[in-house]
């Protein structure tokens, strides 16, 4: 029953080439071909048209065939390989090496090592995120953010693979193949490329969304840490001021009395306490690095650029921007404080004016970041390249405008 259905289907597959212009059945999938090899008799296998068999048939398929069919399968595989080789040479002669390479990309894409690794890493991130939502443990969050940072470098390869696929689609779409004998091969290649692009786009969207959610959590934790440290710093400053007043009274008392030795010891003790508190206050700072800010901006910008992601997490995007303004201002304050300390240190042979110029203000940081991002996106050949550049410009203007309106924004 099954054999008859296959044979009837093959009668359509074997139509003359002239009729195939209107109806060109697709190539037999490899999985179906394996079932045919295992089930059909040698006579039926011999009737299969080589041009409808899969390209690059693995050699082990002959060994998997029943003994009585192996000779027919071997001849069929040889005929198919010969046909596809001849077709490749014809395509190469008529369309060139780039088109042939695009057809090859359609077969290999979607099964690359980078894509498999990215998919597996994304599954692990989902598990870590689920565990954090249940436990809210800081250790889990630390592991989650570390894994996010480990996955980030893969984005370059995944995006590059997507761009190659898009370029292949554009190249094949420009070819004149509609009435050629291998028209179905071009159509199948285009369809496969589009399927792979859709899959990559879905994986990227999933990652952008998850990374933005994790980034929001990380930035909120950093903001809360800074607020707690600021409260502690204020307490230390009050204690330092009180000790300094006590020191002044002690020194004044020393001038009015003859108990110089006792007064000196008290002054030394107070000075030691003040120095210890000052050192503690200086160390009482939540470090924010330029690398941290860049990663947070990447998460915000990539999620904002993706139309599906930004529609799903509008509220989270707003919260992330708010945290970004706070942390960006704090980072710039730290940079300025460091530069001023260098400039005021008489033991360092550094031009004070030059040291102050090293201060990275918030506006300039944003401008530099988007300049790099704009160049990066321009280098990516994509049908959506112009839209992405316009979106980048819009996001940059929004961040700068809201940053200036922030109640904590102060221009030095």
Mean pLDDT in order along the chain per 10 residues (412 residues): 43 35 60 88 87 80 86 88 83 85 81 88 93 90 90 88 89 75 81 91 93 93 82 74 74 57 70 74 70 89 86 88 83 64 46 43 75 64 51 78 58 42
| Listed residues 151, 175, 203: the one ending a domain | 203
How many distinct structural domains can be found in the chain? 3
Return the pLDDT at 215: 93
Nearest to 141 by CA among 224, 17, 75: 224
Among candidate residues 185, 203, 221, the one where a domain is terminated: 203
**Is position 144 within any domain?**
yes
Q: What is the DSSP string of 90-150?
A: HHHHHH-HHHHHHHHHHHHTT--HHHHHHHHHHHHHHHHHHHHHHH--HHHHHHHHHHHHH
* pLDDT score of 13: 37
Q: Is the pTM of this model over 0.85?
A: no
Q: Are residues 51 and 128 in the same domain?
A: no
The pLDDT value given to residue 19: 33
Q: What pLDDT is recorded for position 410?
A: 44
Residues 371/404, Cβ–Cβ less than 8 Å: no
Same domain, 313 and 356: yes
Distance separating alpha carbons of residues 61 and 64, to the nearest angstrom: 5
If asked whether residues 59 and 170 sit together in one domain, one would say no
Distances (CA, A) of 315 to 182, 249, 294: 50, 55, 21
pLDDT of amino acid 208: 94
Assigned domain for 228 exists: no
CA 215 to chain centre: 13
Collect all residues with Cβ–Cβ distance below 8 Å to 207 and sequence separation of at least 6: 118, 122, 125, 151, 155
Closest CA to 62 of 42, 86, 82: 42
Please indicate, yes or no, whether residues 62 and 146 belong to a single structural domain of this protein: no
Its domain, for residue 161, covers: 112-203
pLDDT score for 21: 38
> Which of these three, 152, 174, 203, is where a domain ends?
203
Q: What are phi and psi of 215, to 5 degrees?
A: -65, -40
Taking 3-state DSSP, the helix, strand and coil percentages for the chain, each rounded to the nearest 5, stand at 80, 0, 20
Same domain, 134 and 72: no
What per-residue confidence (pLDDT) applies to 350?
45
């Amino acid at each position: 029953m099954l054999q008859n259905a296959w044979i009837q289907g093959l009668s359509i597959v074997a139509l003359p080439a002239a009729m195939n212009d209107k109806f060109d059945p697709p190539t037999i999938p490899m999985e179906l071909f394996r079932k045919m090899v295992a089930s059909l008799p040698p006579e039926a296998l011999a009737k299969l048209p080589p041009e409808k068999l899969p390209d690059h048939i693995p050699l082990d398929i002959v060994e998997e065939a029943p003994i009585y069919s192996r000779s027919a399968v071997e001849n069929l595989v040889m005929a198919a390989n010969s046909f596809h080789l001849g077709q490749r040479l014809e395509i190469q002669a008529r369309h060139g090496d780039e088109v042939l390479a695009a057809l090859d990309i359609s077969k290999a894409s979607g099964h690359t090592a980078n894509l498999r690794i990215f998919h597996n890493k994304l599954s692990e991130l989902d598990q870590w995120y689920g565990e954090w939502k249940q436990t809210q443990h800081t250790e889990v969050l630390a592991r989650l953010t570390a894994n996010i940072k480990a996955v980030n470098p893969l984005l370059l390869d995944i995006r590059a693979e997507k761009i190659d696929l898009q370029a292949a689609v554009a190249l094949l779409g420009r070819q004149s193949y509609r009435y050629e004998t291998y028209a179905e091969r071009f159509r199948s290649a285009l369809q496969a490329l589009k399927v792979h692009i859709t899959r990559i786009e879905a994986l990227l969207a999933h990652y952008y969304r998850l990374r933005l959610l994790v980034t929001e959590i990380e930035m909120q934790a950093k903001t809360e840490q800074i607020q707690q440290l600021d409260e502690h710093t204020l307490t230390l400053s009050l204690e330092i001021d009180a000790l300094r007043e006590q020191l002044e009274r002690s020194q004044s008392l020393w001038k009015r009395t003859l108990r110089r030795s006792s007064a000196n010891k008290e002054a030394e003790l107070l000075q030691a306490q003040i120095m210890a508190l000052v050192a503690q206050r200086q160390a009482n700072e939540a470090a924010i690095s330029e690398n941290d800010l860049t990663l947070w901006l990447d998460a915000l910008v990539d999620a904002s650029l993706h139309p599906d992601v930004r529609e799903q997490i509008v509220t989270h995007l707003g919260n992330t921007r708010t945290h970004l303004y706070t942390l960006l201002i704090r980072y710039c304050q730290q940079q300025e404080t460091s530069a001023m300390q260098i400039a005021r240190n008489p033991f360092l042979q550094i031009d004070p004016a030059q040291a102050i110029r090293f201060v990275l203000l918030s506006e300039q940081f944003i401008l530099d970041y988007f300049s790099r991002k704009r160049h990066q996106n321009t280098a990516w050949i994509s049908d959506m390249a112009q839209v992405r550049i316009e979106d980048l410009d819009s996001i940059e203007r929004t961040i700068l405008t809201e940053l200036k309106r922030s109640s904590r924004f102060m221009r030095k």
